[in-house]
Chain A
Amino acid sequence: MKKIMIDPVTRLEGHGKIAIFLNDDGGVANVYFQVPELRGFEKFSEGRPAEDMPQITQRICGVCPEAHHMASTKALDDLFHVEPTSAAKKLRELLYSAFYVTDHTTHFYILAAPDFVMGPDAPPAERNILGVIAKVGLELGGAVIRTRHENHWVIQTIGGRPIHPCFGLPGGVSKAINEEERAKIEEIAKSSVEFGKLSLKVFDDVVLKNKEYLDMVLSDTFTHRTYYMGLVDKNNKVNFYDGKVRVVDPEGKEFCKYAPRDYLEHLAEHVEPWTYLKFPYLKNVGWKGFVDGKDSGVYRATPLSRLNAADGMTTPLAQEEYERMYSTLGGKPAHYTLATHWARLIELLYAAERMVELVRDPEITSPDIRTIPTAKPDEGVGIVEAPRGTLTHHYITDERGVIKKCNLIVGTTNNYAAFYMSVKKAAEDLIKPGKEITEGLLNRIEMAWRPYDLCLACATHSLPGQLPLEVTIYDAQGNELKKLSQGIS
């Protein structure tokens, strides 16, 4: 058997396999996508005290522990029927905004920027962060590292511990911040706003001012007309920490808006025989296969989806950028998958601006950080926007608060169907009979899914003896066609 492996997909979490089968003419016949399944989380959590869940669930993922910690903490509020104090909510959102700044910074500069700054045809050895910094400048590299470092300090200061916060409790948080810490966070927030602005300028200079890239962003190959999901506040503005989940249809009209408790009324999962993955879809539209459009229940939950699903941003600079993006892209919703990178930077700016707002709130240093729960626990659902999609935690306990059942819809999974469709469409459009399959071409297929930043197997970063994600292209007889690699043995 002959097969082609695309190695550059190593810039993706977890180990997965994509198989592209060609027909007799050399066009694409079919695409399959498999990932190994992490097993037994439900069983693992059964019998544990619910209060441990914010500590345990954040260990599921090495990329976004803060998101699991926060969704879990909110599920505990609901489980114990307790309303956190106002100061506690603000501290949680402040930490969460700092987390967004770090995560979006990482994605853009490590994963997205190399494709555009170095170009899709650049050799893989140069198409990485080192290449980006060499080209854009050491000063920017320093700013990337500094912004991440400083915001990690914010997470550690509010969350009580680096990387894995331990401050989320039902009804509030475990510690307040003092004036000295507040003042330092304010400085970091302000410099993060400047960094957000700088990043959008980089995107302008590199992508928007380059006609070839802009055409690529707007091309049909990287476009899908789907439903969009995102958390919104009471005015339908983007919020990462709290609110209701709003879904708009491919025309931008509100399809539904639900409170966390009602998520099962709106979502269902589709199963395919060729993969362990379950594909969530909108139950009230129905599963019509891997197709887009208004009749298909496929939805997306990405940075661009959140902007599509909302009526705007609550902070001034992000709102300006929001308007500019939609006017450039020809209106809302925007269906261009590659514009997700742009939306991510607008979210980065929003998160930084939101930090400034929260840290200047007189209540942020209040010691009133906890409402002690008094009601019996039974069932609770907590939802936040993880950077990679809407994250839902659902726990059922006995009257002592011991977990009987646990269900999680991890951010990434929302996008499985759309991810698969994006791979398939790019492969179909780019692999043509008689056309040589070059590395640049394969990288363009990768670019179709990179915006999703899929986490396939959270936090398993053992040294892999296999490629994290293999893309294999087979001809009509099942023979491997070509092998490309980035110097991996």
Chain B
Amino acid sequence: MKTLVLGLGNPILSDDGAGIRVAQEVGKQLNDPQITVAETSEAGLSLLDSIAGYDEVIIIDAVQTEKGQAGQIYRMGPEDFSLTKHFTSPHQINLATALELGKMLDLAMPRKITIFAVEAKDITTFSEKCTPEVEQVIPEVVKMVLQELNAKHPPEG
């Protein structure tokens, strides 16, 4: 089973880079040819290109919600897509539409998509560092992603 771990965001825009940071950390701790770790700052149709051909996809991104607290972690599934339809670039299309499009065109779409999101504090200041609130939860998100992967790819022995 081919699995993709995809970090989304902009690595030089403070907390917007949280997803990419998590993916990089996850990548360091994995050595499984069935799991690909990637990062992208593109969205919409490009996301379709990225996820096509994988059985399962785990996406990590930053999030800004109205009442959320910086550093809060969310785990979401496709059932939440209706609420998060803009989490990819509104320039193009959202993930839900991209998936629907992929199915319509008979592309190999993942059977399962899980999204981990971190509530961001600052996504408008150029910086390679996340804010302390987000920085401190990154190890926890990494752990959650690894647990998710372990559940499907139990380590041998």
- Residues of A at under 8 Å CB distance from B? 10-14, 36-41, 43-44, 56, 59-60, 62-63, 65, 106, 110-111, 128-130, 133-134, 138, 141-142, 145, 148-149, 152, 163-164, 453, 455, 457-468, 487-489
- CB pair B101–A130 under 8 Å, yes or no, is yes
One digit per residue, 1 when the CB lies within 8 angstroms of any chain A CB and 0 when it does not, for chain B 7-44 equals 01111110110000000000000000000000011111
- CB pair A465–B91 under 8 Å, yes or no, is no
Give Cα distance in the complex from A462 to B107, angstroms: 26
Given the complex, which residues of B lie within 8 Å of A468, measured CB to CB? 86, 90
Q: What are 21 A-B pairs at a CB distance below 8 A?
A: A11-B91, A11-B92, A40-B126, A40-B127, A41-B126, A56-B12, A59-B41, A65-B42, A128-B93, A130-B104, A138-B104, A145-B105, A163-B41, A459-B41, A460-B10, A460-B13, A461-B10, A461-B41, A461-B43, A461-B87, A465-B66
Given the complex, which residues of A lie within 8 Å of B43, measured CB to CB? 62, 461
Give Cα distance in the complex from A56 to B120, angstroms: 22
- CB pair B46–A133 under 8 Å, yes or no, is no
Shortest CB–CB separation between residue A408 and chain B, in angstroms? 12
* B contact residues, total (Cβ < 8 Å): 49
- CB pair B44–A38 under 8 Å, yes or no, is no
Does B6 lie at the interface of the complex (its beta carbon under 8 Å from any beta carbon of A)? no
Give Cα distance in the complex from A466 to B62, angstroms: 14
Give Cα distance in the complex from A141 to B68, angstroms: 38
Which of A39, A65, A145 is in CB contact (< 8 Å) with B48?
A145
Instruction: Known contacts A106-B44, A141-B105, A145-B107; decide if A461 and B125 are in contact (CB<8 Å).
Output: no
Given the complex, which residues of B lie within 8 Å of A463, measured CB to CB? 61-65, 84, 86-87, 117
Give Cα distance in the complex from A453 to B91, angstroms: 8
Shortest CB–CB separation between residue A77 and chain B, in angstroms? 23
- Residues of B at under 8 Å CB distance from A? 8-13, 15-16, 40-46, 48-49, 61-66, 68, 82-93, 97, 100-101, 104-105, 107, 117, 120, 123-127
- CB pair B89–A13 under 8 Å, yes or no, is yes
Shortest CB–CB separation between residue B87 and chain A, in angstroms? 4
Given the complex, which residues of A lie within 8 Å of B126, measured CB to CB? 38-41, 43-44
Given the complex, which residues of B lie within 8 Å of A12, measured CB to CB? 90-91
Shortest CB–CB separation between residue B11 and chain A, in angstroms? 6
Shortest CB–CB separation between residue A57 and chain B, in angstroms? 9
Chain A residue at minimum C-beta to C-beta distance from B38: A162
Give Cα distance in the complex from A348 to B120, angstroms: 37
- CB pair B83–A489 under 8 Å, yes or no, is yes
Chain B residue at minimum C-beta to C-beta distance from A58: B41
- CB pair B93–A460 under 8 Å, yes or no, is no
Given the complex, which residues of A lie within 8 Å of B93, measured CB to CB? 110, 128-129
Given the complex, which residues of B lie within 8 Å of A36, measured CB to CB? 124
Chain B residue at minimum C-beta to C-beta distance from A145: B105
Question: Nearest 9 CB-CB pairs, A to B?
Answer: A463-B63, A463-B87, A462-B62, A44-B126, A13-B91, A465-B65, A62-B41, A459-B10, A468-B90
- CB pair B41–A65 under 8 Å, yes or no, is yes
Given the complex, which residues of A lie within 8 Å of B105, measured CB to CB? 133, 138, 141-142, 145
Given the complex, which residues of B lie within 8 Å of A129, measured CB to CB? 93, 97, 101
Given the complex, which residues of B lie within 8 Å of A464, measured CB to CB? 64, 86-87
- CB pair A59–B12 under 8 Å, yes or no, is yes
- CB pair B124–A106 under 8 Å, yes or no, is no
Give Cα distance in the complex from A145 to B50, angstroms: 12
- CB pair B45–A148 under 8 Å, yes or no, is yes
Given the complex, which residues of A lie within 8 Å of B91, measured CB to CB? 11-13, 63, 111, 453, 455
Give Cα distance in the complex from A130 to B16, angstroms: 29
